[in-house]
Amino acid sequence: MQHPKPYTLIGYLKLKDMTEELTYAEICVKEPRATLKFLTQYLGFVNISNLHNAEEPGKPGFLLRDKSGRSYFIPLRVDGDDYNPTIILNTDDCLRDYYLLNKAGIQFDGIPGYTNDGLKAVAVDDNGTRYTLLEYRDYTDDL
Amino acid sequence: MKKIQIINNQNKIYSEVTTNATYANECHEFSIRMVIDGHEQYKLGNKKLSICPGNFLVINEGTVFGREIYSEIPVNTISILYGPQFLNSFHQSVTAPHSFLLDEPFFVPENSAPVFLETLYPLKGDMRYNLLHLQEIISNDTNDDMLIDQYLLHSLINFYRIYNKEILTKSDELKALSYKTRTELFKRLNIAKDYIISNYNQALTLTEICQHACLSQTHFCRTFKQTFHCSPYQYLIQVRLDQAKHMLKNTHYEVNEIVSMIGIDNVSSFIRFFKGRYGKTPGGYRAVIAA
């Protein structure tokens, strides 16, 4: 089954800022190559520029783009405490994506669970980086 | 158009889009039944119920019922039928102590089928999201049983939560009464609630609702408010506003047409009620949805 809608990455924004439209975000992780592999191999992100940062020349990393045209930069080196503890990916159907990614071999930390913001499932890559698949649900609008 | 999908574990999904259908003397496994659009009428014994968007009905295994659709617009219905083994196993997993589940992981006692109150439940929150996703998956002709099972399992998880909130917690609101009296009273209050939901577009009177529920007016009004935290009239208005909101969002009916379809006498009262409840006029709400 093909994934019907592209993922977008919310990065490290807090949930309350979710409505903000991102065109560029920096994702700081301990293992950039593992994150690159995870996002491109399983989630359909495209690596458009290896070891290059157009915004800050001289800072090496990977420039990714999602299918909606947003760009994300994964720097190779990050200072001490600036890692994103969890990368949040939004989805329009968490159960479907949990199932499809699980089937593709992705490890999850437990089964999808309900939160005040919607349904979420936490995927973990080989290096322990956590990716929260979040299906935001508006519980105030029921019909 | 009618479709029946049987999953490996004997769970089934019935979906149908029709303007006219009658089914008599049906008897199945435990089922959860909903409509995406329109209304579907059910007859369970002497009880007549109408499922509309925003509600779902559960029917226990073995209950004999009839159902009918008669509509100018196509009615889109979905029913999930849970195989007895799947349901009993799930019920055991959420009700038995952990120590027992560890000692006897595959034991499911015979005759352990749970029996739920056959009433209309609010289709909202996670239940609504999951069932709408399921509907999309089915309409795309997906035949991946394990994917469909994800939705069926989560719909059951959601239903148990709703049951806990709508039945167990609300019946506890009548705690001053003995268990037997409380159970009977709660049953009658739900008959009244179902009657209101099923006939929201009619000119209902309090006398008529009380007669239907076999309760005196003062007793009914006092205990209804105690249980549902609003008066029967406020409950009726809320059902009407919910249906109006659904129509504003999902149809092209004019506001005055919607008013005539939900049982409110005049447009100005409707606009006042709607604005009071949702903070926007019906036109304003529709404009926000369209934006």
Residue ranges of domains in chain B: 2-170, 173-229, 235-290
pLDDT recorded at residue A12: 36
| Residue in B124, B130, B245 closest to A95 by CB | B130
Q: At A131, which CATH number?
A: 3.10.180.10
Interface of A with B (CB under 8 A): 1, 93, 95-96, 98-100, 103, 112, 114, 119, 135, 137, 139, 142-143
Given a cut of 70, whether residue A23 has pLDDT beyond it is: no
**The residue type at A20:** E
Given a cut of 70, whether residue A84 has pLDDT beyond it is: no
Say if A1 falls within a structural domain: no
Our count of domains for chain A comes to 1
**CB pair distance less than 8 Å for A143 and B53:** yes
Structure tokens at A24: 């560029």
Residues of chain B in contact with residue A137, where contact means CB-CB under 8 angstroms, are: 125-126, 129
Given a cut of 70, whether residue A126 has pLDDT beyond it is: yes
Given a cut of 70, whether residue A56 has pLDDT beyond it is: no
Residue B38 per-residue DSSP state: S
| Residue in B122, B144, B150 closest to A1 by CB | B144
| Residue in B54, B126, B150 closest to A143 by CB | B54
Question: Distance between CA B164 and CA B175 in Å, rounded?
Answer: 16
Given a cut of 70, whether residue B164 has pLDDT beyond it is: yes
CA distance B56 to chain A (A): 13
pLDDT recorded at residue A22: 53
Give me the half-sphere count of Cα atoms (radius 13 Å) on the Cβ side of residue A41. 11
CA distance A143 to chain B (A): 5
Q: What is the mean pLDDT of chain B?
A: 90
**What percentage of chain B reaches a pLDDT higher than 70?**
97
pLDDT recorded at residue A62: 81
B94 Rama sector, left if φ>0, alpha if ψ -120 to 50, beta otherwise: alpha
DSSP A5-49: S--EEEET--GGGTTSPPSEEE---S-HHHHHHHHHHTT--EEEE
Task: Using the structure block, give the residue that is written with the tokens 């990455």.
Answer: A9
**By residue range, what is the domain housing residue A116?**
8-12+22-136
Given a cut of 80, whether residue B7 has pLDDT beyond it is: yes
CATH number 1.10.10.60 given to B235-290: yes
Strand ordering across the sheet containing A46-49: A24-26, A71-75, A61-65, A46-49
A78 and A21 Cβ atoms separated by less than 8 Å: no
Given a cut of 90, whether residue B170 has pLDDT beyond it is: no
Residue B166 per-residue DSSP state: I
Question: Distance between CA B159 and CA A93 in Å, rounded?
Answer: 19
Task: Using the structure block, give the residue that is written with the tokens 């100005």.
Answer: B268
Stretch B59-71: mean pLDDT: 93
Percentages of chain B per state (helix, strand, coil), in multiples of 5: 50, 25, 25
Structure tokens at B162: 């709703």
**The residue type at B100:** F
The model's pLDDT over B29-43, given as tens digits with 9 standing for 90+, comes to: 999 999 998 899 999
Q: What is the mean pLDDT of chain A?
A: 74
CA distance B181 to chain A (A): 34
User: In this structure, which CATH number among 3.40.50.1220, 3.40.50.300, 2.60.120.10, 1.10.150.120 belongs to the domain B2-170?
Assistant: 2.60.120.10
Given a cut of 60, whether residue A18 has pLDDT beyond it is: no
**CB pair distance less than 8 Å for B150 and A139:** no
> Band of the pLDDT at B227, cuts 50, 70, 90?
very high
B31 and B12 Cβ atoms separated by less than 8 Å: no
Least confident of A5-19, B68-82, B158-172, B204-218: A5-19
> Band of the pLDDT at A88, cuts 50, 70, 90?
confident
**CB pair distance less than 8 Å for A1 and B129:** no
**What percentage of chain B reaches a pLDDT higher than 90?**
62
